[in-house]
Chains A and B, each alone.
Chain A
Amino acid sequence: MDLARLVELGKIDKNTPHPPALIGQDGVLELTQLAIKKEIKAQIILNEGLMPGMHAIGEKLSRGEVFITDMLIAARAMNVALGQLKPFFLSGEIQAKGTIVLGTVKGDLHDIGKNLVKMIMEGDGWEVKDLGTDVSEEQFVEAVNNSTDAIVGISALLTTTMLHMGSAVQRLRENNPNTKIYIGGAPVSQSFCEEIGADGYFSNPHGLARELRKAPKLLI
């Protein structure tokens, strides 16, 4: 079985009991180690071995064929493989896809939606800096200043907090007009997104993942 499929199934290593059909067989850990030993380029292991597995499960989730739990199980296996590739990230041999700064707006504590965005974007190969809930404009700006290429994702669930998205967008634009900003959450919409000058509204994280996969400068 190839690496991507093992990621998709969440088979971590030989000893893990999940999935039952693969008990005793090599998992993502062994295959990644083998690939490194065979001197396959780390970027290729990541792009052609591991990521397709995450994309496959992400697509299945967006089509409603699997559940978030399956995605998290796959992500757990993926993380074990990434642990093996860590030296190559540190040496700069592999470049991560990019960073997403994520948070729920000021005054709002709803976080399940945002947490799901985090999980799904991480599964898609992004590094996510989760600022949590009740995030002020200044905190968003500061986070972007710490990773200047970062994309920003903002969530709001209350009609009385969604307008803070507007001021966050404004502050982020003043800080760096090129920052890409995406929004989501039950009360917001595409027209609201246009009104406040954000770059896109998505009713679910898959939409954002797909949009960002289209972006030309990205590696994967």
Chain B
Amino acid sequence: MTKYFGSLAIKHPDDLIFGYAPKPVSCGQGLTIGVGQVFPEINFTLPPMLINESNWNEVLSHYHNICENVLARAEKLRVPGIVMEFEHLPPMSMKPELGAEITSLIKNYLLEFYRRTGIPNALRVTVVDLRDADHPPLLRSGQRWEQTREAFILSAVAGADILSIESVGGKEVHDQALMYSDLSGIVASLGILACRDMGWLWDEIVDICKEYDVVPGGDTACGFSNTAMQMAGQGLLPATLSALVRAASAPRSLVAYEHGAIGPSKDCAYEGPIIKAITGVPISMEGKSSCCAHFSPLGNIAGAMADLWSNESVQNIKLLSGTAPEAFLELLAYDCRLFNIAENKNESRMYRDLLVRSDLEQSPEALMLEPQTVLRIARSIAQCPNPYTQTRNAIFTAFKSLQDAVDSNQLKLPSREQTWWSKIPGLLAQIPENENEAIEYLITTYHGVFNPQAYGL
């Protein structure tokens, strides 16, 4: 069943703040997210090594080692609560029993940790969207989908408290549109293809979650707007384009919540604040403390509205202090202490504004996370039920916000962006006005790149 969010759950910028979500989520072992505190969400991964039968015990011992170290540090620092995210590596979804074995390993540690310390906690499991392996992807059928689905089920059975995915529907077209800075293609692939796939996929995921009593967390536009942000970071695309793509990807990630996801959203979904404003669900975010996984221009501002604070991922390697996962748990724990003391001392708005302002001038992407702008984009999305129009509205509103910031000298564009900047209005004007025209555009311009049936077209 589809729920349409016609108005905003958070209407005033003052209320768009870390730690608070109008629709808190209770999950796992006594953890409630969104009622005032920010908790660390610690992520981890394997160091350089293969995953196969012969070294499976070595793989397992890494996860044992991670759990022991991370939880010991969490206890030492007396975190008020903790989420552990186990992000599958491809073989763990391809052979879902492997993923399930690690899920239950981590869950046992968390249960024991809760018994011993009373610190609330939860386990998020993120399954790999294996459907990406077919070109073009079949999405709704075939072995890849069956495996992905099985991975969700076995994760749920093995003890996942929250389920998530970084899904890829529409990415095959978006990748190309992005390279050519084709705004019409970007909006159509996100607003039509990605939204359609999200609706279909999240119905399936939510059904599984209901059956096994697991929280359907949410999805991320990682393969869309984080790809754009990474490319902009490498100087390959304009940062203003990456900012526009971020806004345009929000309606796509919103679909998960329209189809029953309840949060916490996925950490690398930097579109999270827009989702929080519309739906009221708690969000996970990552910023400066995820520099172990990738760089970003959003180090501080990403925390301004977070309910969980994540490090995205870190390899289990030894550092001078200890292992990398426990070191990053320490970073997150101290970041969270600051959030939580600010809240406790009634200084949270001041702290939030410092986080916001410290990044704002430097980056167009950061502007997309500024509370007023978030609400402006969120409103333009909530105004209408059609995902394509929502996406189109979002990109126009994002551009208007960028324009205002540039005109008022709040945002300084690097000189290399000037030529592109002057082209944007022309490109925006070409974006098809309605969904039918946009489908036509997709079919003529991206013929052969995607499989229309996979999207029910």
Contact = CB atoms under 8 A, between A and B. Distances in A.
A69 B181 CA distance: 6
Interface in A105-123: 107-109, 111-112, 115-116, 119
A186 B231 CA distance: 13
B315 A132 contact: no
Main SS at interface, chain A: loop
Contacts of A192: 48
A160 B51 contact: yes
A162 B48 CA distance: 7
A158 B50 contact: no
Interface string A147-160: 00000000000111
A69 B90 contact: no
A58 B45 CA distance: 36
B132 interface: yes
Contacts of A212: none
B46 A159 contact: yes
Which of B50, B132, B133, B420 has the most A CB atoms < 10 Å from its CB?
A: B50
Interface string A52-67: 0000000001001111
Contacts of A164: 50
Contacts, number: 68
Interface string A65-96: 11111001000000000000000000000000
B293 to A, nearest CB: 9
Nearest to B176: A115
Nearest to B128: A109
B435 interface: no
B234 interface: yes
Query: Chain B contact residues: over half helix, strand or loop, or mixed?
Result: loop
Interface string B210-221: 000000000000
B12 interface: no
Contacts of A43: none
A160 B234 CA distance: 24
Interface string B57-94: 00000000000000000000000000000000111000
Given A119-B179, A160-B89, A67 B420 contact: yes
Interface residues of B, number: 28
Name the residue among A116, A119, A133, A160 with the largest chain B CB count within 10 angstroms: A160
A163 interface: yes
Contacts of B179: 68-69, 72, 115, 119
B50 A160 contact: yes
Contacts of A204: 234
Contacts of B235: 61, 64, 67
B238 interface: yes
B345 interface: no
A109 B90 contact: yes
A66 B181 CA distance: 13
A160 B175 contact: no
A112 B181 contact: no
Contacts of B46: 159-160
A187 interface: yes
A45 to B, nearest CB: 27
Interface in B158-176: 175
A127 interface: no
Contacts of A64: 235, 416
B420 A163 contact: no
Interface in B216-246: 227, 231, 234-238
Nearest to B90: A107
B448 interface: no
Contacts of A137: none
Interface string B29-52: 000000000000000011111110
A116 B132 contact: no
A108 B45 contact: no
A112 B237 contact: no
Contacts of A30: none
Contacts of B334: none
A26 interface: no
Contact of B231 (A68, A109, A132): A68
Nearest to B316: A159
Interface in A143-198: 158-164, 186-187, 192
A159 B47 contact: yes
11 contacts: A64-B235, A67-B181, A67-B237, A68-B179, A107-B90, A111-B175, A159-B45, A159-B315, A161-B90, A162-B48, A187-B48
Given A159-B47, A161-B50, 5 more contacts: A65-B416, A68-B236, A72-B179, A108-B90, A163-B49
* 10 tightest Cβ-Cβ pairs between the two chains A and B: A64-B235, A69-B181, A68-B236, A159-B48, A160-B89, A109-B132, A163-B50, A160-B51, A160-B46, A67-B237
